[in-house]
Amino acid sequence: MGEKVLMKGNEAIGEAAIRSGCRHFFGYPITPQTELSAYMAKKMPKIGGVFLQAESELAAINMVYGAASAGVRTMTSSSSPGISLKAEGISYIAAADLPCVIVNIVRGGPGLGGIQPAQSDYFQATRGGGHGDYHLIVLAPNSVQELVYLTADAFNLSEEYRIPVMLLGDGTLGQMMEPVDFDSIPEPVYAEKPWATNGTDNKREKNVIKTLYLDAPELEAVVMEREKKYDIVKQELQRYDAHDTEDADVIISSYGITSRVVETAVQILREEGIKVGVIRPITLWPFPEKAYKQVHPKAFLSVEMSTGQMIEDIKLACECSAPVYFCGRTGGVIPTPDEVVQKVKDILKEVG
Amino acid sequence: MSKTIYEKPKSLTDTTFHYCPGCSHGIVHKLVCEVIDELCIQGKTIGVEPVGCAVTAHDYFDFDVVQAAHGRAPAVATGIKRSLPDRIVFTYQGDGDLASIGTAETVHSATRGENITVIFINNTIYGMTGGQMAPTSLPGQITQTSPYGRDPHIQGYPVRICEMLATLDGPSYIARVSTDSVPHIKEAKKAIKKAFENQINGKGFSIVEILSTCPTNWGMSPVEAMKRLQDEMIPYYPLGVFKDVGEGNE
Amino acid sequence: MENCEIVLAGFGGQGILFMGKLLAFAAMLKGKKLSWLPSYGPEMRGGTANCHVIIDDKPIGSPIVTKPSVLVVMNKPSLDKFEDTVAEGGYVFVDRSLIEGEVTRKDVKPVYIKATEIADSIGNRGLANMVMLGAVLKTTGVFSLEEIEETMKKSLPAKKQALVEKNMEAVKKGYQTV
């Protein structure tokens, strides 16, 4: 372990991206992720990198599309309303099989919503967000240290699979400071990019990066080929943390900052002798279905900062082997450990 | 002994154009490819194609091409150029793409002085979707979505992109040319060449607006279409150079 | 008290977040687990600002402090807002110069400091936060004066090193006053 530094989540993402070889960042200001853009604006010119504040989120994501086409490691970041604007470009990037990293520091929605932390973009993130048959790899860190690890992973995974990766945080993770160690983050693994549109130099056939297929069977074939890749990702990439699941009457699932609230609640419950366990998804897509096949609680509980979006994936993953309950707050309100404790007790009254 | 006096540009593939008879796209594709050949930049060039009739320009261009979303070509070109500053990056866009849905990208890449070349086809109509009103449709012009003629009080006035961009400090070269006659086509090629040379010389944003025809959606024969371009479009969209920072201005 | 959950609150511009950062940084230097979470948004100078700091030996669960063992308030709205949340037996540090009201709860330990007046007396009203910090150090024992001085030296950028001395003077005033 190297020396730790005290850093805000948003800035730590920036530093991790730079250490992962990202030299092209295109952004547009929005609370609560702006510190990331500001960090890049300060650092990039000093290391020969590019920071560009685009005229809109639409332009920013399309600059990412261009940079990714050119074959460089590139990134953009925003928060919920801005991600909706980026959805157009994200669909094109996914359709063009281009690697890039998109950060969403989620705030309350819908609409302009609020600026306080939320997890109400789960559907948008895990279902793609834009139009068409596609997925993003979605990573959900729960600490500043994990933000840093997963930022490094995001670049590598994105290039390995040629799938855009979304780092899904929230206002709390972006704003909070924790000690973080950069020396232990994954090394960049650069993929060959023979497909890049970086000029033929008259030495190879031209490359074309496109997303339009006017012939329906041809488009179907392209989509199905990508679907095969998604199947591989589903097999290879399910990541989660689990503990105390063996004897658990209730297994609580939550991701990101909410999982920290749950950890505090679990501590209280275990001290009272109540058997609770935890499955914390780290990849939200692919959802860690495997984790739910091996456990046999009386009930599952999904804790989220939304009106309950991950609950559907838990139901699919556990194949309704036990009832799935929900506990959460939304609109920027963070649930308290006490609310989770109470919910678990209420569930146990129902399921015995 | 025989002597070659004309040949197809190397940067153009052998694929037959899908464009309608009398459409200007074929002319402009050829001009762009001739310029690329003459400047010996085929291996360094990356084209960004739009959404519109030129969405499959990659079938005809024999160099790397990226297809952009509708209106976003200048942002995509910005991303490429900022990643590969030694490459030659151009966009090829129609009026709906550049002057309507992509206005913000156009204006901001221009004002940043982004070192790219923009080829802008203005034919006053949406061609690919079958003849709807464009931001550049003339007052009174009948289209599918202005069936009683474009009424400026209802649909607003046409956008003069060159004049608008010429108010900005960022662009280095802004010209409007036409494809209606051989002399004008020669002028058009000169302007396109200058717009690419500017990029090679690091002068920044250059745009060439090319007044073009769309006989199919105008409901005219190719000859009638050329006449409309001369009689109606050129008076509204005067030809000329609107900005040229000239030599020595880096 | 080595481990604690702290809420610091006041007006933006009083250095509330900085006070929290020093505590967080000191905890890091000591090898503790910690988290620092600010309120955020359009909280400019004159608006309200608060931050949550947790210092512990085991990994921090929720970084949101719902029952602070230490509350530091530098304006009346913050006292009103957070008094009820303080854990039983917890400390409530009140800048007496700015807040006229009393801590009404009987199961917490109020500590009143005329922080802004003391800061004025050493010529810089902006150091009231450091006076409050000094009072917190003395009363809770969370960090020593030496540890805080070390923290300032290590956390402040080079161009602000000159401020360490003045800051420490204010911290010591607060330390001595309680």
Q: Which pLDDT tens digit goes with each residue over B229-242?
A: 999 999 999 999 99
Q: Which of A181, A184, A133, A135 is nearest to A158 (CA)?
A: A135
- Two structure tokens written together for B116: 């790219």
For the full predicted model, state whether its pTM sits above 0.80. Answer: yes
Touching A (3+ Cβ pairs <8 A), the chains are B, C
pLDDT in tens, C9-49: 999 889 999 999 999 999 999 999 999 999 987 655 557 89
Query: Where do the domains of chain B lie?
Result: 25-244
pLDDT attached to residue B247: 58
Q: What is the mean pLDDT of residues B47-57?
A: 96
Q: Do A202 and B42 touch (CB under 8 A)?
A: yes
Architecture of the domain defined by C4-177? 3-Layer(aba) Sandwich (3.40)
Residue with tokens 């609640």, as numbered in its chain = A265
Q: Do B75 and A201 touch (CB under 8 A)?
A: no
Cβ-Cβ contacts under 8 Å, C37 against chain A: 172, 175-177
pLDDT in tens, A178-218: 999 999 999 999 999 999 999 999 999 999 999 999 999 99
Contacts of residue B31, defined as CB under 8 A and 6 or more positions apart, other chains included, come to B185, B188, B189, B192
Out of C41, C61, C62, closest to residue A31 by CB: C41
Cβ-Cβ contacts under 8 Å, A177 against chain C: 21, 24, 35-37
Q: Do A71 and B65 touch (CB under 8 A)?
A: no
SS3 label, residue A113:
coil
Quick check: do B and C touch, 3+ CB pairs under 8 A?
no
∠ CA C70-C74-C76, nearest 5°, is 105
Min Cα–Cα distance to chain A from C121, Å: 33
CA dist., res. C64 & res. C46, Å (int): 24
Q: What is the mean pLDDT of residues B1-10?
A: 90
Tally C-beta pairs within 8 A across A and B.
131
Taking CA atoms, B115 is separated from A35, B37, B199, in Å, by 28, 20, 6
Min Cα–Cα distance to chain C from A27, Å: 19
pLDDT attached to residue B146: 96
CA dist., res. C19 & res. A174, Å (int): 20
| All structural domains of chain A | 5-199+225-235 (3.40.50.970), 241-351 (3.40.50.920)
- Two structure tokens written together for B141: 């012009």
CATH of domain B25-244: 3.40.50.970
CA dist., res. A111 & res. B183, Å (int): 54
Q: Do A179 and C21 touch (CB under 8 A)?
A: no
Min Cα–Cα distance to chain B from A41, Å: 15
Q: Do A261 and C38 touch (CB under 8 A)?
A: no
Out of A52, A68, A203, closest to residue B82 by CB: A52
Beta bridge mates, B174: B207, B243
CA dist., res. C175 & res. C164, Å (int): 16
DSSP state of C114: -
Cβ-Cβ contacts under 8 Å, A336 against chain C: 62, 64, 66
Query: Where do the domains of chain C lie?
Result: 4-177
Cβ-Cβ contacts under 8 Å, B107 against chain A: 55
